[in-house]
Amino acid sequence: MINRRAASIAVSTPRGYSWTTAASLARAAAAHKASSPITVDPFTLVGKELKGLTTNIKMNLGSNLRQLDTLSKYYFEAPGKHLRPTIVLLMAQATANLSPHYNTPKHLINVLVNDPLAPQSILHDTNPSFHNDISQRGQDGVLPTQRRLAEIVEMIHVASLLHDDVVDDADTRRGAPSAPVHFGNKLTIFAGDFLLGRASIMLARLRSLEVAELVGATIANLVQGEVEQLNETYQSSSNDLNTVVDEAFQRYLAKTYLKTASLISHSARAAVCLGGVGVNENWAQGEYLKDAAYDYGRNLGMAFQLVDDLLDYTPSADLGKPGEGADMQLGLATAPALFAWRELGDEMGTMIKRKFKHPGDVQNAKALVAKSNGMPKTAELAASYIDKAKSALHRLPKSDARDGLEALCLKVLDRVK
């Protein structure tokens, strides 16, 4: 469930921050570097696990249908950031050995993560790429089920990218032609569905009802967020500008949770569950740890999307972000535009309500956002979510993995570089 109160936009400026220029993210990153001088590289901490991530995913995506086999693996050919799997793996490390059930979780005894629950003759799911050689023990405090969860999470994320690129008529993805351009819309949609199907099979074989519920809810959340975004009208029963913008902002934050933060928060919590903190483990401290993981993931996910929305207005060659207002071209008003609406009134609001459909709307709206406090306030809001993520993280014991999760907070704010 979305915490509407926590999603409020009434955010106070964190101490030491100054938002006088458009270089807001750089200021936020510098402030967090000063308050959290952590130099550990989170991706190095789980480097051994990440190294085999793509190989294992491709192994689980094999199909006798050549087009489906090629397309389902297409977005795994180019290296991605792997943010979501990294969070899962680091959370596994950060909570390793905390549960009295960690060493022999009931769902792992004499079971491999690839073992089916039903006979293969009934499943009718042939995979020529598959070979059951996943070792029972994990590396660096990561259990096989947690490693598999990291792979499942990345598959769900990539499935959402395949579907998004069809909906958004995207031409490129990660510097290459998008799947719809290369293979067509119909096959791309089928490939996304295929990824979700195979991810669901892998999820069931983790043999954790709580984890299945969390990840299943995430898939539903992704769809709900997309439909809510599609149906957004920016209408209100009130004539008061602040009320109208507040309502639009709450819908925007709710959609941000559903589309981005849900997967990150649910998978962080699921990683802790698989470490022996499931609903049936009878360990009171477990709920506290799961809540901390969820709160960290939720707030980091919200900040990540806010920064992404900000970069849509700020060109960044390193990230492949042209800063051309791609969201506005799709008729979407994200945080910078909504903040500008509150500040500038109908001058901005008229274009938002008609979804930037008139000639020149996108460029005019970009200019208005640039002259407003929309970008600094978006960076401020992202930084406030990062503060909450760090607070949640500090409910976990001190460890290198916890430092790695905190370092990810800075990397989210520092993506402009």
- 132 in helix, strand or coil? coil
Residue-wise pLDDT tens digits, 360-397:
999 999 999 999 999 999 999 999 999 999 999 999 99
Stated as kind and residue range, the H or E segment containing 311 is helix 285-311
How many Cβ atoms are within 10 Å of 187's Cβ, its own excluded? 20
Give tens-digit pLDDT for 91-124.
999 999 887 766 555 444 445 788 878 888 788 7
- The pTM assigned to this predicted structure is 0.87
Mean pLDDT for 155-180 is 92
What's residue 110's pLDDT?
A: 44
How buried is residue 91: exposed, middle or buried, by Cβ count under 10 Å (0-12/13-18/19+)? Answer: buried
Q: CB of 376 within 8 A of CB of 25?
A: no
- What value does the mean pLDDT take over residues 56-72? 93
The set of residues, in sequence order, having a beta carbon less than 8 Å from that of 133 and lying 6+ positions away, is none
Domains by residue range for the chain, with CATH: 30-413 (1.10.600.10)
Q: What is the 3-state secondary structure (H, E, C) of 244-268?
A: HHHHHHHHHHHHHHHHHHHHHHHHH
